[in-house]
A and B are shown apart, each in its own frame.
Chain A
């Protein structure tokens, strides 16, 4: 960038205009989360004040009730009182399962699609794209009755495999485009040296594929972690994950203080994502770009 010709540089007025626009956008993008995090440290009477919108800033009732302008009461109530840690554990099980199986299936399939020159490889990719268009709820209405009949409903592993399947189209496209960027010469050399396909894949290709695998892993993680529809429909009350549970809290807002369970739980769900994006921003960006464009 140091050797950019002068004429390439945007004029100051344009930069100012862009900076203004981006500032407004960033406020719109981040403010709801910042505000919810702020509000989670107040009592309901302040965050949802009947009296004045200013209460959410100064917290008069929070101070009156707890002696401080900030309180972790909502977090204590939801994590300990409502045993939200159970949902957190369930989410961990689902997320780990989905990520591990997605990556195993996806790397094998993506590799085959990238290396086959046959016509059917193209059609499998197109079919995956069509499958990707199917809304989750459309498929759930197909699962529910057979799952009830065959006693598959309400188990974590059923939910995991369903989420893996629904996520396969994207994972296949993404990993297929990553494998395409690894030169065929590498496999060829391994095959000539007497490796089988599986050995070439495992010993030669996978070691250079880690960046792609990690990227695909992040997206699989997000699928398991964020899912609402599938988990809400296929899991029981006792093995429910965090996101559907938050909506569950809202169903009973009549009791005072209940809505603060949701607020604290929502912030608890968002914070790990903030950390994840902080450490893997580059990979998320790279994955979105290869999944959408190269593929």
Chain B
């Protein structure tokens, strides 16, 4: 055909640009540029304190005091608010990758487990380990629990479903830190579950807060509790679209309920499960609020909580927070790489 039919619904580039502009501008200014700002800050460090010697004399004699010169510091900060250039120094220092500490630990380590234990006492590695374990435990367990709830609700009579969905949504809708607080007040030593456990065991010192392992377990439970509703909702909707014909054909062929679940329902849910897993990994990798809500800062730190406390100190440590942020972004990128490659491959085959 020589003459193409007119395609009025194809959006011209100019119109597209105008429509997407506000949204893109917001994302560029407040997501993309801050990432640039993070990169710059991660290569800088706070100005060293300017010290002055001051001699004060009184009737009993003179003494020399060393003081921070506030005026000089202010001048330095005004001239270069980002601090002084530090190269990759912040990345390598003991609060981050701790290269020299690692060298010392592994040179002196008598065996593997001592070396590992000492490595995991370093703040960055401790946070990385917790964040990874949290993500890798909570995501699949939430996926499984959400699926089980969806399968169970699917065999219940229609009349009760509305109420079940309502109550199931609650742990997800309530802000994460608030949900964690309500759990915390129950398991607190003086809370209903904590006190009840003390009464049952007769051990007045029993506390779920006292041990690191229990604190981690509580965080994991909270994670699954608040993630499972989302998984449930999506799987439950997908279960309503399982092709009837295939199910009936399987029944005619004599497939049992379990076989139908395995051979018809599961393959139908598989692509959705992949996408859910991607979302869950993204969300769980930023674990932070539940650590605050459950007062678990003594036993667990995540990459996000390292950033939070670096910024929340008496003087915010912008360089340190930025370096941790960069390392976090790199970790997320590595975690997402397989999914991005899939998206790219899918696009290539479509094009």
Contacts and interface: CB of A to CB of B under 8 A. Distances in A.
Given A109-B24, A165-B26, A165-B27, A243 B177 contact: yes
Contact of A269 (B82, B156, B178, B311): B178
A104 B23 CA distance: 9
Given A15-B156, A18-B152, A165-B27, A138 B329 contact: yes
B322 A108 contact: no
B332 A281 contact: no
Interface stretch (B50-58, B110-118, B163-171): B163-171
Interface string A7-49: 1001000110111011001101110110110010000000111
A135 B285 contact: yes
A84 to B, nearest CB: 14
29 contacts: A15-B157, A19-B152, A22-B164, A29-B229, A30-B170, A36-B182, A49-B195, A52-B195, A108-B20, A108-B22, A108-B23, A112-B19, A118-B11, A118-B13, A124-B24, A135-B288, A138-B325, A138-B329, A143-B34, A144-B311, A144-B318, A149-B81, A188-B8, A197-B11, A233-B311, A247-B177, A285-B233, A289-B233, A292-B230
A289 B237 contact: yes
A254 interface: no
Interface string B3-17: 000001111010110
A69 interface: no
B174 A228 contact: no
A112 B153 CA distance: 38
Interface residues of A, number: 108
Contacts of B37: 142-143, 145-146
Contacts of B31: 131, 134, 139, 165-166
B332 A25 contact: no
Contacts of B169: 277, 281, 284-285
Lowest 7 A-B CB distances belong to which pairs? Answer: A142-B34, A109-B23, A165-B30, A112-B19, A135-B286, A53-B195, A226-B175
Interface stretch (B90-98, B100-108, B183-191): B183-191
A64 interface: no
A140 interface: yes
Interface in A200-235: 201, 222, 225-229, 233
Interface of B: 8-11, 13, 15-16, 19-20, 22-24, 26-27, 29-38, 41, 81-82, 148-149, 151-153, 155-158, 162, 164-171, 173-179, 181-183, 185-186, 188, 190-192, 195-196, 198-199, 225, 229-230, 233-234, 237-238, 251, 257, 272, 275-276, 279, 282, 285-286, 288-289, 292-293, 295, 303-304, 307-308, 310-312, 316, 318, 321-322, 324-325, 328-329, 332, 336, 340, 343, 347, 351
Contacts of A119: 351
Nearest to B282: A133
Given A49-B195, A105-B26, A122-B347, 19 more contacts: A1-B158, A18-B153, A22-B156, A29-B229, A33-B170, A35-B186, A48-B190, A108-B19, A108-B22, A111-B19, A115-B16, A118-B11, A133-B285, A135-B328, A143-B34, A229-B308, A233-B308, A274-B170, A281-B166
A281 B24 contact: no
A263 interface: yes
Contacts of A273: 173-174
Interface string A164-206: 1110110010000000000010011001100001000100000
Contacts of A116: 10-11, 16
Identify whether the interface residues of A are mostly helix, strand, loop, or mixed.
helix
A161 B293 CA distance: 26
A141 B307 contact: yes
Given A48-B190, A269-B178, A166 B30 contact: yes
Nearest to A287: B233
A111 B15 CA distance: 11
B165 A109 contact: no
A168 B26 contact: yes
B173 A29 contact: no
Nearest to B347: A122
Q: Which one of A25, A104, A143 has the highest number of Cβ atoms from chain B below 10 Å of its Cβ?
A: A25
B199 A22 contact: no
Nearest to B238: A293
